[in-house]
């Protein structure tokens, strides 16, 4: 093989290695279910040593066993719990390379009908909890000279319907926190990004499948006319976690099936194709 061909082969292999997470430690808060679970699986599949954290001890320990991972019981909306988690990880591991947070709660209700308690419940977990997470692990990664922080937003940060105002506001706030923190910790080699999914087929939406007209109407908001699989969102998480995204920060990465690219469901018009 010529020197030129050898150089090309080495460059090609280097692209593959960019996605390799071997030797890296990754935390997934919300790891036992939905996008969190498939994200933990994706990171593990790419070689990372995974730490799963969640409030449900039984479920998080079962998930950790399946992935040969470490388990922690944590209330994502509690500042002391997040500080304690960060301290435990710092004591047990020389470095944390990736940290992903996915927990969220939604009370679908008209804004004028929201109670103070319902507002607090949504804002405390979605927005305040994400702040606690980004603060704790952004600080840790800054001290270590690098890392990738990934938060979970939603297309509801920009597109709404009645009953989604409070939830959407928290998801918009997450994007702004990601952008702000990215501007502050970039000089320390830390990247901060958000994933922005639309509709994801997880066990949580099983009751919606019993209402096929609504289920299908939501699917029609995407260009693919289907719900996403959580593994498709997890693949975006894995990309942001990897060195393949080494120049990506302050980004809200849409994984929405074109939801925000079109205005309403398809019209049924036939496209004209040209050879």
Residues 6+ apart with CB under 8 A from 235: 42
Strand-strand pairing, 228-229 and 98-101: unpaired
The tokens for 260 are: 């925000």
Quick check: is 167 catalytic?
yes
Taking CA atoms, 13 is separated from 2, 20, 24, 86, 237, in Å, by 17, 11, 19, 35, 22
Q: What is the DSSP string of 189-236?
A: TEEEEEEEE--EE-GGGHHHHTSHHHHHHHHTTSTTSSPEEHHHHHHH
* Candidate list 114, 119, 167, 247, residue with the active-site label: 167
**Beta pairing partners, 91:** none
Q: CA 194 to CA 155: how far, in whole Å?
A: 11
Count of beta carbons in the 10 Å neighbourhood of residue 260: 16
Nearest residue to 224 (alpha-carbon basis) of 257, 253, 192, 200 = 257
> Do 141 and 187 touch, CB atoms closer than 8 A?
no
> Do 187 and 173 touch, CB atoms closer than 8 A?
no
Q: Which residues are catalytic?
A: 167
């Amino acid at each position: 093989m010529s020197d030129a061909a050898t150089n090309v082969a080495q460059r090609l292999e280097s692209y593959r290695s960019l996605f390799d997470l071997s030797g890296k430690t990754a935390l997934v808060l919300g790891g036992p279910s939905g996008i969190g679970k498939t994200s933990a699986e994706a990171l593990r599949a790419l070689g990372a040593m995974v730490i799963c954290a969640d409030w449900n001890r039984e479920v998080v320990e079962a998930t950790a066993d399946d992935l040969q991972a470490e388990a922690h019981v944590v209330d994502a909306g509690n500042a002391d719990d997040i500080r304690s988690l960060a301290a435990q990880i710092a004591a047990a591991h020389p470095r944390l390379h990736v940290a992903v947070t996915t927990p969220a709660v939604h009370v679908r209700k008209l804004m004028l009908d929201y109670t103070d308690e319902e507002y607090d419940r949504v804002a405390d977990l979605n927005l305040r909890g994400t702040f606690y997470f980004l603060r704790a692990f952004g600080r840790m990664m800054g001290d270590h000279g690098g890392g990738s922080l990934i938060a979970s937003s939603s297309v509801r940060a920009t597109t709404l319907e009645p009953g989604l105002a409070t939830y959407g506001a928290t998801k918009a706030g997450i994007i702004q926190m990601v952008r702000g923190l990215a501007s502050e910790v970039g000089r320390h080699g830390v990247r901060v990004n958000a994933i922005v999914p639309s509709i994801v087929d997880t066990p949580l939406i099983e009751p919606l499948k019993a209402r096929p007209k609504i289920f299908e109407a939501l699917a029609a908001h995407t260009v693919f006319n289907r719900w996403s699989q959580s593994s498709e969102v997890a693949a975006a998480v894995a990309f942001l976690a990897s060195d393949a995204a080494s120049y990506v920060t302050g980004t809200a990465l849409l994984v929405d099936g074109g939801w925000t690219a079109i205005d309403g469901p398809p019209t049924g018009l036939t496209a004209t194709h040209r050879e």
